[in-house]
Structure 1
């Protein structure tokens, strides 16, 4: 049986998201998985924006429920942290017992990444708060339940194939 991989990430906001999704699904196929992209749902026109948003949410939840594995793009999106929708999808996947993988181009620890904006004397970040420093590339709520791979979607697929091969 071919495992289904839901690919969470901000790629859906790219102008060419449909084409990106097709390439990502092809890459999944090359590694022996069936790829599921967040746009793989048929959302009917809704009477208003809130109803449209609800339909998108419910459609993505159904896609995640069908998946065996979540692979998430955890690269920074509009800031220093991953896309909040992607993070939610990871949490939902965890709650549903899915295998979780993530990928980061820069998999240094958070402390290393934030060091340039950290005050040497206090160890506080530019916003005046402490930095979570457990030697992990992301917050513990992502780093602990997920296998985080340095690199790209392809690197995460390689790791998932190694880990999940029967």
Structure 2
């Protein structure tokens, strides 16, 4: 039986040690009988080429594992969110990981350094925008369809046991 192919989505490609990170992820996947498809794979170097390469890998994958930890703010990386949505539209299982069960409201309040102001049933951020308040760690469009776990290892194990 061929190894399940898992696309590894996330902003980790921007790490200064991205190649070492990718090698470690490949090792972890191989140990579980998985084949890692990582956005660093391939030789594309233009934005259009990288996009096409990543789309092809998501299409070829049996599942997607996504790093959904907040990136440069309160929400996950926008490119990762796109990849998750694309995979879900293709009917592929997606397992996401983030290290904290903190709700989106709690995260916004913490990052703003002040308590959120209640406005009837909604909560407002410092600029007066409503913050989704379903006690979920991510926006409902990610938290509902994506199986959420605490870390990469748990995400890979979830793929193996699905």
* TM-score, normalised via structure 2 length: 0.88
* TM-score, normalised via structure 1 length: 0.86
Q: Partners in 1 of 2:6 and 2:64 — Cα distance?
A: 6
Q: Secondary structure at the match of 1:41?
A: coil
Residues 83-137 of structure 1, C-alpha deviations (whole Å, 9 max, x = no match): 1111110011011111011000112221232344443453312121122112211
Q: Partners in 1 of 2:50 and 2:89 — Cα distance?
A: 20
Q: 2:74·2:104 contact (CA, 8 Å) conserved in 1?
A: no
Q: Secondary structure at the match of 1:108?
A: coil
| Structure (1 or 2) with the greater strand fraction | 2
Task: Note the residue ranges of structure 1 that are not aligned, 5 or more in a row.
Answer: 46-51
Q: Indicate whether 1:62 and 2:56 are aligned.
A: yes
Partner of 1:157: 156
Q: Which residue among 68, 78, 83 is the counterpart of 1:84?
A: 78
Partner of 2:67: 73
CA separation of 1:8 and 1:121: change in aligned 2, threshold 3 A: closer
CA separation of 1:121 and 1:101: change in aligned 2, threshold 3 A: closer
Q: Which residue among 94, 97, 115 is the counterpart of 1:100?
A: 94
Shift of 1:160: 2.4
Shift of 1:82: 0.9
Shift of 1:78: 1.2
Partner of 2:18: 17
Q: Secondary structure at the match of 1:15?
A: coil
CA separation of 1:156 and 1:119: change in aligned 2, threshold 3 A: same
Q: Which residue among 116, 133, 153 is the counterpart of 1:119?
A: 116
Q: Indicate whether 1:139 and 2:162 are aligned.
A: no
Q: Partners in 2 of 1:66 and 1:22 — Cα distance?
A: 20
Q: Secondary structure at the match of 2:157?
A: helix
Q: Partners in 1 of 2:143 and 2:118 — Cα distance?
A: 28
Q: Indicate whether 1:8 and 2:9 are aligned.
A: yes
